[in-house]
Amino acid sequence: MTAASPVPVHPRLGARVAYRLQQVLRPNAGYRWLAARIEGQGPARALFTVAERETKTQMFGCRMCGQCALPVTGYVCPMGCPKELRNGPCGGVGADGSCEVYPDRRCVWVEAYDRAAAAERAGDLLLLHHPIDHRRWGQSSWLNYWQGRDEDLWTSEPGTRT
Amino acid sequence: MDERTRDKDVSLRERLASGGFAVTAEISPPRGASTQPITKTAANLKDWVDAVNVTDNQGSNVRLASWAGSLALLEAGLEPVMQMTCRDRNRIALQSDLLGAAALGIRNILVMTGDHPKFGDHPGAKPVFDLDSVQLLWALRTMRDQHVLLSGRKLDPAPDCFLGAVENPFAPPVEFRAGRLGKKVAAGAQFVQTQFVFDVPAFARWMAQVRDLGLTEHCAILAGVGAVRSVKALDYMQSHVPGVEVPDHIFQRLRAVPPEKQKAEGIKLAAEIVQQVAEIAGVAGVHLLVAGNEQAVPEILQNAGTPVIDGR
């Protein structure tokens, strides 16, 4: 982690394209096999992780927390929130939708809500996210995702009575 | 005030469970190693409120610890609401603090994310935010109900606590604010205190969504009402307190009176807002945001009249 607080990043990839990619990249036997192969070889894993880092940093300002929330946040990275909030915006959002810490930036959750709502996925934002595992920083979340290790990141049902 | 109608032995939890109109107020602990200022303030509030919030280094400024202030209130015969932010402590410290608070008899815990350190007197401090408010509520509820820590380890005995949350009905994305409260209720919030309500119609619109989601059945909503002391204070609030938007008509109303009468006008305004929010279906009480101006509480409640005092 860097010393300065995270900065909200406006994603370069449109939500529509991202949701389509989500369909294509959904875990299946093939991806599981591929992820296991990559994980089994040190250099391949390192290379894959660098590729993921580069791609997601460019697209979403990814900080490699290793437990990606993008599929249920309108493809706006919540780790760009200076408070790293994964369950929605804080109460300090400006009336114009600006981040309280970086007033020249848009709150990631305002952005997330707009993108998810436009794609009729606003319900995603009601899912309850568990605390993250800080040991996973720097890991490939794609490998974790395909291997099924990400399944417990958030609840399967929206925030009704648990 | 007719105190005969008021049962002092009723806890905040019981008051809300019985459908009574609850009043809470907020105090800020001193910047110093003494609980005396808290005890003094408590004496003035005792006959007026059900419980008193003790802020947790509010605005990211160092103050006497929330648990210590809460303990001082208990000793003074007042029920505390211990505020707990996610800003300064990780999941280990937060869970430990709940155990400590419960062991000392502090039952009401108000969970919030907390202001960013940037806004306080130690802007270079490390922002922790290991958990967010939803996750902390969830963790505390699990400790109480399942008798386990986040790690899964058993607790004995489990803490008894009444869990609260905060919400800002007015901040973008406004359409998501009721749903966000729904997440907090699902995670364990049993009562909610809102940000300052200046814009009553906007608050009523949010309440309608909150009712539609069925949240008022599981969670008591206390509307945040503040007493503004002057136009200057209002200006400060608008520009320095994150998430507070003051509508123009409030500014105009306060500007229309001479400076020496602005304080009285602010109290009148607060009393009117108390009356107005009390009329909104699903509102279970008010939370008076009067830190530093606690002496305004009796006047606000007196001006607001019967809904607050009678039957309490």
pLDDT greater than 80 at residue A59 = yes
pLDDT, residue B245, reads: 83
State how far Cα B200 lies from the chain centre: 18
Question: For residues B253 and B283, is the Cβ–Cβ distance under 8 A?
Answer: no
Q: A97 with A110: CB under 8 angstroms? A: yes
- Percentage of residues in chain B having pLDDT higher than 70: 95
- Any idea which of A139-153, B90-104, B107-121 has the lowest mean pLDDT? A139-153
Of the partner residues B166, B176, B218, the one whose CB lies closest to the CB of residue A125: B176
Q: What is the mean pLDDT of residues B151-168?
A: 97
Contact indicator for B250, B198 with CB cutoff of 8 Å: yes
Give the pLDDT score at B8. Answer: 63
**A94: closest chain B residue by CA:** B243
Show residues of chain A in contact with B113, CB under 8 Å: 83, 85, 90-91
**Spatial separation of the C-alpha atoms in residues B175 and B165, rounded to whole Å:** 19
Report the pLDDT averaged over residues B59-67.
97
Q: What is the ipTM of this complex?
A: 0.94
- Judged by CB atoms closer than 8 Å, whether chains meet at B243 and A90 is answered as yes
A85/B173 Cβ within 8 A: no
CATH value at residue B191 = 3.20.20.220
Q: What is the mean pLDDT of residues B156-183?
A: 97
pLDDT digits (tens, 9 = 90+) for B109-155: 999 999 999 999 999 999 999 999 999 999 999 999 999 999 999 99
Write down the pLDDT at residue A161.
42
Average the pLDDT over B26-32 and give the result.
95
pLDDT tens digit sequence for A31-41: 999 999 999 99
**Most B-contacting residue of A7, A81, A83, A98 (CB-CB within 10 A), to test interface:** A83
Strand B51-54 and strand B80-85: pairing? parallel
Interface of A with B (CB under 8 A): 5, 82-97, 100-101, 107, 109-110, 113-114, 117, 122, 125-126, 128-131, 134, 158-162
**Binary contact (A97, B173; C-beta < 8 A):** yes
Own/partner contacts of A2-5, CB < 8 Å, gap of 24 or more, are A5/A82, A5/A101, A5/B116, A5/B118, A5/B127
Residues of A in contact with B86 (CB under 8 A): 83
Q: Chain A residue closest to B120 (CA)?
A: A101
3-state DSSP of A104-161: CCECHHHHHHHHHHHCCCHHHHHEEECCCCHHHCCCCHHHHHHCCCCCCCEEEEECCC
Q: Nearest residue of A to residue B190 by CA position?
A: A161
Number of domains in chain B: 1
B312 near B20, Cβ under 8 Å?
yes
Within a domain: residue B232?
no
Q: What is the residue-averaged pLDDT of chain B?
A: 93
Report CB contact under 8 Å: B182, A101: no
Give, to the nearest 10 degrees, the angle between helix B36-45 and helix B66-75.
50
Amino acid at A133: D
Q: Which residue of A has its CA nearest to B242?
A: A92
**Distance in angstroms (rounded) separating the CA atoms of residues B38 and A121:** 48
CB within 8 Å: A159 and B183: yes
Give residue B243's pLDDT.
82
A83: nearest CB among B129, B218, B243: B129
Report the mean per-residue pLDDT for chain A: 92
Contacts of A109 in chain B (CB under 8 A): 173, 176
- Examine residue B251 and state whether it is found in any structural domain, yes or no: no
**CB contact burial B91-130 (16+ within 10 A = b; e otherwise):** beebbebbeebbeeebbbbbbbbbbbbbbbeeeeeebbbb
The per-residue pLDDT for A130 is 96
Q: Are residues B77 and B134 in contact, defined by beta-carbon separation less than 8 angstroms?
A: no
Within 13 Å of residue B233, how many CA atoms lie on the same side as its CB? 14
Domain of B65, in residue numbers:
3-226+272-309
Quote the percentage of chain B above a pLDDT of 90: 86
Q: Residue B242: pLDDT above 60?
A: yes
In this prediction, residues A111-140 reach a mean pLDDT of 96
Inter-chain contact A93–B176, Cβ cutoff 8 Å? no
Q: Does residue B247 sit in helix, strand or coil?
A: coil
Q: Do A83 and B116 touch (CB under 8 A)?
A: yes
In Å, how far are A37, A61, A75 from A117, measured between CA atoms? 37, 21, 12
Asked if B129 lies within 8 A of A117 by C-beta distance, the reply is no
Residue range B89-106: average pLDDT? 98
Give domain status of residue B241, yes or no: no
Q: Is the pLDDT of residue A162 over 50?
A: no
Tokens of B241: 């307190």
